[in-house]
Amino acid sequence: MLRSVLFDLDGTLVDSLEDLTDAVNHVRQQFILPPLATSAVSMLIGKGALNLLQRALPTCSSTEIERALQLFLDYNAAHIVDKSRLYPGVREMLEVLQNRGVRLAVVSNKSESLSRLILKSLGIHDCFESISGGDTFPESKPSPLPLLRVIEQQGVAPQECLMVGDSINDIQAGNLAGMATVGCSWGYGSSEELNHSVFIADSCDDLLRTIMELEMAS
């Protein structure tokens, strides 16, 4: 029986690429570096802000990266939904799943505080009984630990869960946790990354159909 669905955040529920790009380029400007295109930043997303900045500022020292991280977090928090939007159909999909009694959680590599802020700002924070970020647990995705901790708190077994995400970090974490996985083609991950998932969804309607089919099959 499918009882719980765990969602990634950026690139899965929320299209935050432009705001993330603006935050990265704000930091690069402080270091007298030219801006990056959104397409370049999209390839750096997935393993949290520290990893993002290490890749966006490859010549910076560890001390400079620490400063850059704070600049990034402060700017991103102040401009969290300047351009970020829910993907089409997300709100409606979550409402249907809630009404069906499916338990919902967010497991992001974004910090928990920023994850909660963006979900509140976009009006879907209360859809989830659990919201965790890359700093909530000792490890982050692609480690399965965050997923396993969340479902342990829910009292749900891995085989009763589905992990939904747009990158190899999400898919690998779900696979290692023993969950079924859905790759979202509308996000930032490549088609090669999504091929590691059990299912691939091309829209929220497609994702909802997959979830409901899994419910019925169980």
Q: Give the three-class secondary structure for 137.
A: coil
Residue whose entry in the numeric block shows the structure tokens 């969340």:
150
Specify whether the CB–CB gap between 7 and 127 falls below 8 A.
Answer: no
- Residues with Cβ within 8 Å of residue 203, at least 6 apart in sequence: 88, 89, 186
- Residues with Cβ within 8 Å of residue 46, at least 6 apart in sequence: 11, 109, 167, 168, 169, 188, 189
Q: Which of 169, 164, 195, 196 is nearest to 182 (CA)?
A: 164
Residue 39 DSSP label? H
Which one from 8, 10, 166, 170 is the annotated catalytic residue?
Answer: 8
Burial classification of residue 23, based on how many CB atoms lie within 10 Å of its CB (0-12 exposed, 13-18 middle, 19 or more buried)? buried
> Is 19 marked active-site?
no
Residue 178 gets the label, from left (phi > 0), alpha (psi -120 to 50) or beta, of left
Catalytic residues: 8
